Amino acid sequence: MRRLVAVGVFVEIALLIIGLTWIRGFGETPQAAADPQGDRVPGLEPAAYRVEGEGSGQVVEVELVAEETTQTIAPGVDYQVWTFNGTTPGPVIRVTVGDTVRFTLRNESSLGLSHSIDFHAAQTPWDVNYQPVAPGETLTFDWVARFPGVFMYHCGVPPVLHHIANGMYGAIVVEPEGLEPAREYVLVSSELYADQGRDGEVAVGDVAAMESADPTYVVFDGMANRYLDAPLEARPDELIRLWVMNAGPTLTNAFHVIGALFDHVYADGNPTNALNGVQTYNVPPGGGTMFELRIPDEGLYPFVTHAFAYTGRGSVGVIQVSEDAAARPTEYPRIGDPFTGGVLPFGSTPAVVESGEHEGEAPTDGPVAMTAAITGFEPSEIEVAAGQVTLEIENLDAFDHDFTIDELDVYVPFGANETVEAVFEAGPGTYTFYCSIPGHREAGMEGTITVAGTGH
């Protein structure tokens, strides 16, 4: 009994000594990792972590317009979105750490709604710059991009849930200095809550579903399975950098690439927040992460949220690794297109559907110019005169499409990024054209051509 008591006292004394040592050292930085300035990790230049004061002096002009429109969010589903610059997500913005962002918000709401801005990358007073802007009004302010990473911007007018869930968000990448060149994509994860109503009607936001976090779709870059039939491309062993921002508004994205591992993961995209050899990493709503990986073998590598209750709601895309992939861009646009992962300039791919927006007549002195992308043909409604019809079709995608009209026996295939002419005879009537490759028509690649009058 005495021996047990003695052992117990010894253990208590030992734990007390350990506890006192821990308390004494709590909050202290280990000597080997100490930074004489106390504000950054040793070995990294200050600009790679943050900048002080007024930054580099380089000014980047950024203007966002708050407006409502209609966007295709899944095959056959058009949704009334509240947007920045007419798309959900809004433009991909890129600046360099230290830049001054000269920002302007114009509210052109057609629904009479007030809107605002909240840049997660900025340090600026909420009560001055993040307040509601009434329809017809404009707000301008400057801020310095002091921290590198990938950050959310969004409308912050209450109820914020409604404004974000209806589409008012986007990603801004603040690039650190000295970042190794890579093939880069910006992916914005989000939830869409569509009350689809009767068939053929434009869907609107379902507030009850938003409040219960029961989304109709969980997507990357504004559309269910956007990169399933239009894969992101890369070459074997090429450094791939994915800037992933989760707009939410509620769910965490457990980001994972099937068949691959992440060489490095950086929380918020800050190079000082490094993890190595990661399989899956949670990106919280309102947060971002930079993922770097190299994939050694050719093939298809799906990326998903590993929260599988939501994966099947549209949160699936594919990285296609091939020796034949186009060379990576040498630079990326300041204002990038959200439907190409920020690779092309803003507005490069159509995703917005407005009644009558695509109507037009063929010029009398030349062919009708069209573009083709997995999101659709532009224009999707064409008017021409009877007789010989000539269409000049530019493929915006890095994979094949075709132009097909069954009634007129028209079939014109075209390869990646190719421009072709479709020439055929057509009498009066309205004909449907589409891409016949499986899955492409369902993704929105169809339209009508109205032929009127006599030949020309």
In angstroms, the CA 204 to CA 165 distance is 11
How many whole angstroms separate alpha carbon 223 and alpha carbon 84?
16
CA–CA separation, 230 and 388 (whole Å): 33
**pTM of the entire structure?**
0.70
Q: What end-to-end distance do the CA atoms of the chain give, in Å?
A: 112
Which residues share a beta bridge with 450?
Answer: 383, 430
Query: Read out DSSP for 236-288?
Result: TT--EEEEEEEEESS--EEEEETT--EEEEEETT-TTSEEEEESEEEE-TTEE
CA 73 – CA 342 distance, rounded (Å): 18
Residue type, 191: E
- Tally: H helices and E strands in the chain: 6, 31
Task: List Cα–Cα distances, 395 to 225, 353, 377, 401, in angstroms.
Answer: 20, 19, 9, 7
- The one-digit pLDDT tens for each residue of the chain (456 residues) are 444 444 444 444 444 443 434 334 433 433 333 343 344 444 445 445 667 767 677 899 999 999 999 999 998 899 999 999 999 999 999 999 999 999 999 999 999 999 999 999 999 999 999 999 999 999 999 999 999 999 999 999 999 999 999 999 999 999 998 899 999 999 999 999 998 765 568 999 999 999 999 999 999 999 999 998 889 999 999 999 999 999 999 999 999 999 999 999 999 999 999 999 999 999 999 999 999 999 999 999 999 999 999 999 999 999 999 999 999 999 999 999 999 999 999 988 765 655 433 333 333 346 899 999 888 899 999 988 888 899 999 998 888 999 999 989 899 999 988 999 999 988 888 899 999 998 899 888 999 998 875 443
Bridge partners, 96 (sequence order): 175
**263 neighbors 208 (Cβ within 8 angstroms):** no
